[in-house]
A and B are shown apart, each in its own frame.
Chain A
Amino acid sequence: MDSARYEAVAGAIAAPVVTKVLIAGGFGVGKTTLVAAISEVRPLRTEEVLSEVGVGVDDTAAVEHKTTTTVAMDYGRITFPSGVVLYLFGTPGQERFWFMWDELAYGALGAVVLADTRRLADCFSSVDYFERRRTPFVVAANRFDGAPEYDTETIRDALDLDPDVPVLVCDARRRESVKEILIASVTHSLTKHRMAATHR
């Protein structure tokens, strides 16, 4: 009915240019810590409902009678003087929450896969996901006290990463370190973007 009018109205309201980078990795690897280190606001939490009857539910189903629970995503925000707003979204850390990932990844500039060198296998699934989706990503090994200090090439081999995937070491608690990781991520995405453009 009035959809044309909505669009006209929508076009008239200016919003900031927004974009997002995903922070992925296993449970407890420091995703929210990383977001907190650089976000201009305390990390916010948003939740989505998981329902065991999520498939095939129609508009009128009385889902309030079904068992539901929620999955949380923490995110932060950086507003740059140019007016561009960057959102950092921590992905839910487990494979069963992947139904959320496609939405999170849609329109993302790129991703940071945060790794714990004591549990490198925890980030295999994130690496797989971004490889399959062709989302540009970097791997950042979060330095934990007492964790083995592998060099980045060892981490690259262990994760079987393509040679062009940047691998870095970081301290997710430190703003400067997180800033470097994000710069590496966006630089990598920009490089990939330009390569794709020249092959078009």
Chain B
Amino acid sequence: MTEGGDRWLDREAGPVVRPYALTRGRTRPHGATLGLIDHVAAAGPLVVDARGLGPEHRHLLHLCRTPTAVAELASEIDLPLGVVRVLLGDLMERGAVAIAGPPETGTSEETVMRSVLDGLRAL
């Protein structure tokens, strides 16, 4: 690595950041990995133990009152995906949020594709 660290930095690179300060250095969430379009929702009227939760946790919890995709949560609070996953992992561990599942009926892959096709044609 004689070129130094700047080989990553070009038009497609964003600003240099220290986002993992928010997660106290943790780069991996506890538990299952959340997909980009997995929806996360506040898990009901459970009392949340707020100890150790920062303003970003509370902001996420607020946003999750409506089931929201992980990518959209990251955009909304303007933090990198990896950071948002760690913070969501903290909330999941406390039972404050959960992955919201799709409705049970009619979700085979072919059904989804046909539904998307119908939807696109009607745009």
Contacts and interface: CB of A to CB of B under 8 A. Distances in A.
Contacts, number: 192
Nearest to B37: A18
A60 B25 CA distance: 6
Contacts of A70: 13-15, 17, 80
Contacts of A193: 109-110, 113
Contact of B95 (A5, A57, A67): A5
Interface residues of A, number: 72
B58 interface: no
Interface residues of B, number: 60
Interface string A60-82: 11111001111111010110111
Main secondary structure of the interface of B (DSSP, over half): mixed
Contacts of B37: 18-20, 85, 87, 107
- The residue among B9, B17, B102, B120 with the most chain A CB atoms within 10 A of its own CB is B120
A162 interface: no
A190 interface: yes
A68 to B, nearest CB: 6
Given A46-B75, A89-B36, A19 B28 contact: no
B37 to A, nearest CB: 5
Interface string B59-103: 000000001010110110000111100000000100100111111
A69 B81 contact: no
A191 to B, nearest CB: 10
A5 B67 CA distance: 18
B112 interface: yes
A19 B12 contact: no
A13 B100 contact: yes
B54 interface: no
Contacts of B16: 67-69
Given A10-B100, A13-B98, A46-B80, 13 more contacts: A17-B115, A18-B37, A18-B102, A46-B36, A46-B81, A50-B13, A69-B8, A81-B122, A82-B118, A86-B119, A109-B116, A186-B113, A190-B117
21 contacts: A5-B95, A10-B98, A14-B102, A15-B100, A38-B123, A44-B72, A47-B74, A48-B82, A49-B20, A61-B27, A64-B18, A67-B5, A68-B18, A69-B13, A69-B14, A71-B13, A77-B72, A80-B119, A92-B12, A96-B8, A197-B110
Interface of A: 2-3, 5-6, 9-11, 13-20, 27, 38, 44-50, 52, 57, 59-64, 67-73, 75, 77-78, 80-87, 89, 92-94, 96-97, 103-104, 106-107, 109, 175, 179, 182-183, 186-187, 189-190, 193-194, 197
